[in-house]
Amino acid sequence: MNLRYSSLRVKKNVLRALAQQDPEFWVFEEKWRDVLPEAGCPEELAEAVLELAIQDPDAAAMADHYTECEQASGTYAIPGLAEMGVLIAALFLLRTHIKIHKNTEGKWEFLLEHKEMAEEPLEKIAGMLTKLFSSPPGES
């Protein structure tokens, strides 16, 4: 897979394209767009989510296609949402692994759904999300 050597822009476009292939994405995006803090998707988070997503052979094949045809991956960008769209796409791809919600104090929490997978990648991703969502806007 050429993703490892691709630019960050290509990786983020691939994330968006993978998420948008699922018809449920648009409902998810509409639900979370105005609720999430306005934040971009840091490079480390985008790469970690992409690595997790492409463990599925079908997603890996699509990611290869979008990587090789950068223009194809760019056509799936969420209009007007740029970096926020990448974050929403990443959260959508994580939805079966990490549950996101606000606790009673209004702080964001990220709960790992599959304890057997909780080892390295998911715990690392949950930590990145916690840091991102607790940072003041503009800092991450």
pLDDT in tens, 5-59: 677 788 888 888 889 889 999 999 998 888 887 777 888 998 899 888 888 888 8
Q: What is the mean pLDDT of the chain?
A: 79
pLDDT at 5: 64
Q: Are 117 and 96 in contact (CB under 8 A)?
A: no
Calculate mean pLDDT across residues 90-109.
Answer: 86
Q: Return the domain boundaries, the chain.
A: 3-134
**Which amino acid, 4?**
R
What pLDDT, on the 0 to 100 scale, is given for residue 137? 53
